[in-house]
Amino acid sequence: DQQVKQNSPSLSVQEGRISILNCDYTNSMFDYFLWYKKYPAEGPTFLISISSIKDKNEDGRFTVFLNKSAKHLSLHIVPSQPGDSAVYFCAARANTGTASKLTFGTGTRLQVTL
């Protein structure tokens, strides 16, 4: 039972355009959502997060939107750069859990082309 779903395994975007990565979840106990970026042969690195009490969080070129009624969040990257090419994981934490317990999606591989 996949509680966090990333239905697009891959996405290709031209440099300078917007990248939109989507994530859906089923567990209504999730109260905090994170996006991680992963390059090959490296560990995931934290990118941006959002609390369930917000619907938007922005950090430079990265914005995360949360639609609680639809149980959907998205990561927008504007403008996309070649260095953004990586696998992006959506993760969620339940409000009865601890900081160390995250449920991850399966990842979306983003390729930014020149």
Among 13, 44, 73, 75, binds another protein (CB under 8 A): 44
Handedness of CA 57, 59, 60, 62 (dihedral sign): negative
CA separation for the pair 50, 75 (Å, rounded): 11
Min dist CB 70 to another protein, Å, is 21
37: nearest Cα among 108, 103, 98, 112 = 108
Near another protein by CB under 8 A, which window of 11-19, 31-39, 65-73, 78-86?
31-39
45 binds another protein (CB under 8 A): yes
CA separation for the pair 68, 28 (Å, rounded): 9
Q: Which residues bind another protein (CB under 8 A)?
A: 4, 6, 9, 32, 34, 36, 41-46, 49, 51, 89, 91, 93, 95, 97-107
